[in-house]
Structure 1
Amino acid sequence: MAAPAAAPPYRGADPQTGQAAGPAGPAAGPATGAGQPGGLRAALSGLTTRGRSFLAAGLAAVACSYILGQPDLQRVGLLLMALPLVCVVALHRTRYRVAGSRRLSPARVPAGSEARVQLRIDNASRLPTGLLMLQDRVPYVLGPRPRFVLDRVEPGGRREVSYRVRSDLRGRYPLGPLQLRLSDPFGMCELTRSFSAYDTLTVVPRTETLAPVRLAGESSGWGDGRRRTLALAGEDDVLPREYRHGDDLRRVHWRSTARYGELMVRREEQPHRAGCTVLLDTRRAGYSGSGPDSAFEWAVSAAASTALHMLGRDYAVRLLTDTGDSVPGSDSAGGAMGAHAESADAAGLLLDTLAVVGHSAGEELSAAYDVLRSGHEGLVVAFLGELDEQQLALVARMRRRAGAALVFVLDGGAWSAGERAAQDAAPRSDDQVRVLREAGWTAVAVRPGDRLAELWRGAEGGAGGLTGGGGRAQQFARGFDSGV
């Protein structure tokens, strides 16, 4: 799997203005912890159970003093009523310049892995703070809401706390905003203020490391035999293009610039990058069950593993779904020198897309067929759910547009029956696999317990079989000789 993204700097905002804090300092402008709009009425709503009890007891004592004629009891009642009100006014008028910030490490994690969230509170005022209670909002999928208590923060001081989050489900989860709760020393009143900044934790699918096998009929990602000579021999035969930011000025073609009226540069010999399309079937009708161990999650994880593997082999990878939506990988415009950086960016884009991909409402693969028929050549790796006769014939025709094609058909019936029952029953997808092999695909039926890494390893050099994760061998009669 690609290396996780570097942890972003601390991000935060003051609880009143919402302005973002810098990496090492508080937010500009007032960061008042207790003086937010809402007035004294909002502060009175922050009375705790103790404060309300003191008010009730004071009112009862004053009422009893009139009934019983006891002036001393009246003074006691007034004192009980005054204490929580004084605490409310004091807390309301207290001004703290407090900046909160958050850092994720890392911001992109695979499902089932932990990420660390570090919170930082900076006191930018000239007064020490009182008792501060911090609470960060996190989705229930990531665990309970973390809470911390800070006793006292000196002027210009800083406090850092951290917690960990973990999710078995892929997706994008918001973290924040951070809540700051202020309390008086007697515990009569508590005021809660929320910061405005939040961060997003991206949980990407689990991936497997695939063996660097050589698929029959496949070309390498970058090869000496796959170069296009775009700059011809003569000066008059130069193929120019428009100037782009960062181009070397020594490549400016002045004759073409004068002809077209804009700055033009010479195209030089560029390596042509081989392409790979990863087709992911997201039709709800093609899968049964849900959860981390469902057939659809297996397909998403396998698509992510394949995309990362092919990017590592310098392929230009694009992700295609049954709806026809395409997420392009890196093109070869930057040349071989920028291949690694482009692959890293493409890997991040593909993983972010697969982190949130869900079931589509469609029931056909015709949109994906139209995209493949538009002229894309290269390796096609497909992960498909259950297919009816119409969709099976459509997938069989997809093979004719690609130089090499590998398809994994998930046996929905075996998945719904469970792993143990699936090992004893004959897979219903065998007939579909046979039809696809006759059409030129390298096809394999995937059942519960199979691991993509072992299935992939069996594809090297047109081998005769693939070994499933549950100790099952998938035999290939025609697939490797005619396609991959």
Structure 2
Amino acid sequence: MTAGSPAAGDDEEEGGIRSALGGLTTRGRSFLAAGVAAALCAVVLGQSDLLRVGLLLAVLPLLCVAVLHRTRHRVAGSRRLFPSRVPAGSEARVHLRLDNVSRLPTGLLMLQDHVPYVLGPRPRFVLDRVEPGGRREVSYRVRSDLRGRYPLGPLQLRLNDPFGMCELTRSFSAADTLTVIPRTEPLPPVSLPGDAAGYGDGRQRTLALAGDDDVIPRTYRHGDDLRRVHWRSTARYGELMVRREEQPQRPRCTVLLDTRRAAYRGAGPDSAFEWAVSGAASAVVHLLERGFSVQLLTDTGTSLPGAGDGPAGSPQESAGLILDALAVVHHSDGTGLSRACDVLRGGGEGLLVAFLGDMDEEQTAVAARIRRRSGSAIAFVLDSRVWTADGTADGTADETARVRLRALREAGWTAVPAGPGAALPGLWREAGRERAHPAPAGTAGPSGRWS
């Protein structure tokens, strides 16, 4: 939850009394004009009673301007956003609070918050008189089907005096940002290479010592095995020291997201590109939960924040960093995957999970080289031709897609086609079966119309 601090005194002066006079309503201007005219007539005609009436008519709107101008700077506003990060299609609630910190009551107030049009209509609230020291709270909801970071604010307050003579506007400088992250889906547990403890025996371990001279001891803790006491260090430090346990090494995984503009067709929350972004987010969250150290890589060779970048390096913090980065990822102008291939040069035994768009023969060859630089590789391949409005592709396009998929499988990829409306959990489970029992190239799979 993020909070906007009260903004009393934050706004800039808008020309002092001159701007306040500019806030006179039609009624206030009419009263002022009538008062001045009556006063002039009274002077010309020598009517003292008419002069008093004219002065009253002229002074009343000016008095309202002075009082309202002073009151404007004695009203504090704040905003609370909960939550500050929501998945696409989910709602967040914004709470607004207004405090009258002056000794005078306010008149009629209109509260308005500025929000991007994609989050919904601009919220407006009409508040009745607020007593001295009083408080009013209102709230509204925002929702977006599109990823991104959206600013909320500034909060704007419009004040009216009880006689309707003057109307002044005040803007508060405090603002918040709503982060709309991609939708994620829980993925089923499948056998993965290098999986963490509890899902297989492939977890690597490294010893904290290589020999008696390389030992890194620690202080004895209640319950430690006495057979691990390091007597030389105990004598050196004057307290009981033990050898460190074997340190588990986290399995590594790289999630490759193809963001090339030429690789996708269409736009909107149901487009192929948004499916790929959502799939990458789901894979990242799932793998972090299973103990992997995850790196997110795009076709441009840019590595987005990964595990260990948070203050404590916890899976939740790492997932939050990557999801925040995915919230604002957009199409790249690149034409190939060669930069990502260069970054993965000399890549080792880590797992590679890729979400790929349309690829020609050259890019398929690059993907084959990428496969040779990873321990094990899974690719979810999107053919944007079947993601068009009619969801169909001609025979030539289907044959091209089959050839591309066959080439990826022959290069060692576990390649799974992803069609419109395909559920990633089902594709993930299918990829696990494909790894265990590779299907002959050219056979149809349950998840797509081509394979």
Measured against aligned partners, the alpha-carbon deviations of 1:161-180 in whole angstroms (never above 9, x if no partner) come to 10000111110001112112
**Cα deviation, residue 392, structure 1:** 1.4
1:16 maps to 9
Q: Residue 93 of structure 2 aligns to a residue in which SS?
A: strand
1:42 maps to 19
Please report the TM-score for the alignment, with normalisation by the length of structure 1.
0.78
Measured against aligned partners, the alpha-carbon deviations of 1:124-173 in whole angstroms (never above 9, x if no partner) come to 33443333321111111111211122223333332211000011111000
C-alpha contact 1:172 1:355 (8 A) present in aligned 2 = yes
The answer on 1:166 being equivalent to 2:143 is yes
Q: Structure 1 residue aligned with 2:426, among 454, 459, 470?
A: 454
**Cα deviation, residue 57, structure 1:** 5.0
C-alpha contact 2:9 2:73 (8 A) present in aligned 1 = no
C-alpha contact 1:96 1:123 (8 A) present in aligned 2 = no
1:421 maps to 392
**Cα deviation, residue 111, structure 1:** 0.9
Q: What is the one-letter code of the residue matched to 1:84? A: P
1:179 maps to 156
C-alpha contact 1:118 1:162 (8 A) present in aligned 2 = yes
Change in 2 beyond 3 A, CA 1:424/1:109: farther
CA distance in 2, matches of 1:52, 1:206: 54
1:467 maps to 446
- Where structure 2 has 5 or more consecutive residues not aligned to the other structure, the ranges are 219-228, 237-241
Q: Residue 345 of structure 1 aligns to a residue in which SS?
A: helix
Please report the TM-score for the alignment, with normalisation by the length of structure 2.
0.83
1:288 maps to 265
2:194 maps to 219
Q: Structure 1 residue aligned with 2:345, among 355, 373, 376?
A: 373
Change in 2 beyond 3 A, CA 1:211/1:365: same
Q: Residue 291 of structure 1 aligns to a residue in which SS?
A: coil
Change in 2 beyond 3 A, CA 1:162/1:210: same
Q: What is the one-letter code of the residue matched to 2:415? A: A
- Where structure 1 has 5 or more consecutive residues not aligned to the other structure, the ranges are 1-6, 19-34, 242-250, 259-264, 476-484
**Cα deviation, residue 65, structure 1:** 8.1
How is 1:379-394 mapped onto 2 (pairs within 5 angstroms)? 379-394=351-366
Change in 2 beyond 3 A, CA 1:422/1:110: farther
Change in 2 beyond 3 A, CA 1:58/1:124: closer
Change in 2 beyond 3 A, CA 1:199/1:267: farther
C-alpha contact 1:65 1:73 (8 A) present in aligned 2 = yes
**Aligned residues: percent identity?**
65
C-alpha contact 1:121 1:160 (8 A) present in aligned 2 = yes
**Cα deviation, residue 448, structure 1:** 2.1
Range with greater deviation from structure 2 (405-414 or 60-69): 60-69
CA distance in 1, matches of 2:366, 2:337: 7
C-alpha contact 2:309 2:318 (8 A) present in aligned 1 = no
Q: Structure 2 residue aligned with 1:124, among 89, 101, 110?
A: 101
How is 1:393-404 mapped onto 2 (pairs within 5 angstroms)? 393-404=365-376
Change in 2 beyond 3 A, CA 1:186/1:41: same
Range with greater deviation from structure 2 (447-456 or 200-209): 447-456
Change in 2 beyond 3 A, CA 1:374/1:189: farther
C-alpha contact 1:272 1:332 (8 A) present in aligned 2 = no
CA distance in 2, matches of 1:330, 1:156: 48
The CA RMSD measured in Å over matched residues stands at 3.4
Measured against aligned partners, the alpha-carbon deviations of 1:441-465 in whole angstroms (never above 9, x if no partner) come to 1113323232222222212333547
CA distance in 2, matches of 1:419, 1:210: 29
C-alpha contact 1:134 1:179 (8 A) present in aligned 2 = yes
Range with greater deviation from structure 2 (134-143 or 148-157): 148-157
